[in-house]
Amino acid sequence: MSYKIEKTTFTNKKVTPIEVNFETKNFMTSIIGNKNEELKNFKNILYGKYLVKSGSFKIDGFDKVNKDWTKQRVSLIGMNRYFRKWPEKFWLSTSLLLNKEFFNKAKIKYINNKYNYLSFLTTNNVKEDQTMRIKLEKMILTFIDSSIDIEEQWLKDFLNQAVEFNNKNLNEKNDKLDEHIKIIARDYFYLKEKTMNYELLETFLQSLWDKVYNFIELTSLCKCEYLSKKSKDKSIKKLSKHLNFHQVNYVVRKQLKIIDVKINFIRYKILSNLNTLKNLEKQINFELIKVGKITKKVKDLDTYFIWRKASLAHRSEFIIKQEKMFFEGLSDESTTLRGKIVEVVHSYHKLVLAKEIKLKKDSLYKEKLKELKNKIKSMSVQSREYINKLVDELGIKLDLFTIKWNKVINIWFQVLRSIFLGKHNIVFYKVLEKLTLSEIKELFHVLENLHELDKKYNFIFIDNKIQNVANLQDKFYLINNAKINDLSFSEFIRKNWSTYASEIFYNENKIPYRVEKDRVIILNNKVKTSSIKFKKEGYILLDPTKISCKKRENKNNLFELKGYVKDNNLFTDENIKYFISHDKSIKMYFYSREELKENQKISIYITEEAIFEIV
């Protein structure tokens, strides 16, 4: 569930619908309307343009704060006819590299592969050396990962406590504050606490970097190299080059570079959050002045929300505990690990001095070396490979390098950019009306594949045609006369036959009848029914969702029609089938999940339930 909007009104009185109830219960949700202004307004509502006055407006379970907040979580896709970024794959690769999370993962992968290659290269195919390096890396990595995991868990627990304290006091001590100001304040203090946690994590990683760096300077703790150089035995003296700690150097420097990447990513998050906090601070000041709570701008909002003093005092105590862990806890663990590293390397030195190692650069070593070298790929190469893989997984078959312009390429480009920016809520605004039926079905297929890859993705379609609803068995939303309501396809055609529905079906799903004495004659079938009142003659209108190609038990089956199936060229829902009777006098749409081939002969059964109106 991405959106959940309940009894929501907005500070802007010109916004329609005036009150909004809207929820995405399925991963595809359609909003239909015939007035462009109403559709545009609802697009702006979903994109967070209007401030909430009352009610609840949540995205991904969080209260909407403002437009900037919403833009980080929602992607708006429209049809751009006049501007194209070509070649698309170049721009996609660039936008993917601008995604800090992807860039950092790619950088860490590059560092891992590069140092794995260099480390293996310098083993000179000595199996004992390779085994020792694997053991050293496992020990150091366990120390780093466990230290980071513990620190992140502490920070997470403290953040939850701080947020709970802030929210409780905001509701109790500032209970008369307008709800939309409380929403902004809650997000402001949450982001502030999170940023302070990032600052602590940055300090922790810097301290960890220092401790890991100390693992390089361990040569003095093992005398093997020194004694071999002083030995009068020339064969022992030659072995001195194998008795230093250069193996540790490769393992440690790899981890140091990875920690550097993590520190830079945390710094990026801090700077990004600080910029957002400035904007939120301005917005809170503006809202407080507007409602008369303050007369001029407050430099530090903690002075207005006086209960924040207790929260800051609690954080100060936590920081003291953290600093103790930085400088004492890490030091103790790293000192213990230093001894274990020396022990492992010294065991290898004993094998070297005992002349139990063999140096042999065979073909397997060269193949392994080549394999490791091929794994070293730059971030740009990784981005291109990721895009190609994703395009294949999604089933996008169009060539993004093509010179020929295609409006669908524009859609693929925007969808992929949304993925790279980590936006799981994608709103398609008046896109379907510009695509052919086959292009719409192709788009739906791609989006279904994307949802299979990641269930977090939700897609909302704002359109003017009910024919473009992806799944007509699900409820959709109709905007009409400044109101929004959810309804089923069956409810829609029953309530709107005289306006929208009759234009869609025209002469389909419409069968003539006549009354002779006490009998109703429909297509030469004598029909008995007590629940439907017929006129002397006219037409019965049939609900496509209530027509079946299987005889229903315990239903009042009025009559059977024989004919064949043709392609549905009207609805995007592939479960809507098109039926033509053998004499071609009757044509109708019906809903079926069965796989029916074109020109396949079938029978369809009409029940009382299928008749929704007599005209």
**Structure confidence at residue 271 (pLDDT):** 94
Note the helical H segments in 291-356. 308-324, 330-353
- DSSP state at residue 61: T
Write out the two tokens for 528.
């008995």
Write out the two tokens for 279.
């904007």
Pick the more confident residue, 283 or 107.
107
How far, in Å, CA of 268 to CA of 264, rounded?
Answer: 6
**Structure confidence at residue 53 (pLDDT):** 84
Percent of the chain with pLDDT over 90: 44
> What are the distances in angstroms from CA 556 to CA 528, 553, 559?
9, 8, 9
Closest of 226, 218, 222, 203 to residue 140, by C-alpha: 218
Neighbours of 403 (CB within 10 A): 7
How far, in Å, CA of 184 to CA of 190, rounded?
Answer: 10
| Single-letter residue type at 348 | Y
Please, which contacts does 437-444 make with residues 24 or more away whose CB atoms are closer than 8 Å?
A: 437/569, 437/570, 437/572, 439/407, 439/408, 440/468, 440/572, 441/572, 441/574, 442/408, 443/408, 443/411, 444/28, 444/470, 444/572
Closest of 549, 508, 511 to residue 527, by C-alpha: 511
The two beta strands, 425-429 and 28-33, are: unpaired
**Structure confidence at residue 183 (pLDDT):** 87
The two beta strands, 587-591 and 576-581, are: antiparallel
pLDDT grade, residue 406 (50/70/90)? low
**Structure confidence at residue 88 (pLDDT):** 65
- Total residue count of the chain as it appears in this document: 615
CA angle 347, 348, 349 (to 5 degrees): 90
pLDDT grade, residue 403 (50/70/90)? very low
Write out pLDDT tens, residues 197-221: 999 999 999 999 999 998 887 776 6
**Structure confidence at residue 174 (pLDDT):** 87
Closest of 384, 372, 432 to residue 408, by C-alpha: 432
Write out pLDDT tens, residues 495-509: 888 777 777 888 888
Given a cut of 90, whether residue 127 has pLDDT beyond it is no
The two beta strands, 519-522 and 525-527, are: antiparallel
pLDDT grade, residue 237 (50/70/90)? confident
Given a cut of 50, whether residue 546 has pLDDT beyond it is yes
- Give the least confident one: 322-336, 462-476, 534-548: 322-336
Given a cut of 80, whether residue 374 has pLDDT beyond it is yes
- Mean pLDDT on 283-301: 87
| Domain spans of the chain, in order of start | 3-84+405-487, 126-358, 489-614
Given a cut of 90, whether residue 154 has pLDDT beyond it is yes
Write out pLDDT tens, residues 559-615: 889 999 998 888 999 899 999 999 888 999 999 988 899 899 999 988 888 888 887
DSSP lists the bridge partners of residue 426 as: 75, 459
With helix as H, strand as E and coil as C, how does 256-300 read?
HHHHHHHHHHHHHHHHHHHHHHHHHHHHHHHHHHHCCCCCCCCCC
**Structure confidence at residue 262 (pLDDT):** 96
pLDDT grade, residue 65 (50/70/90)? confident
Q: What is the CATH number of domain 3-84+405-487?
A: 3.40.50.300
| Single-letter residue type at 219 | T
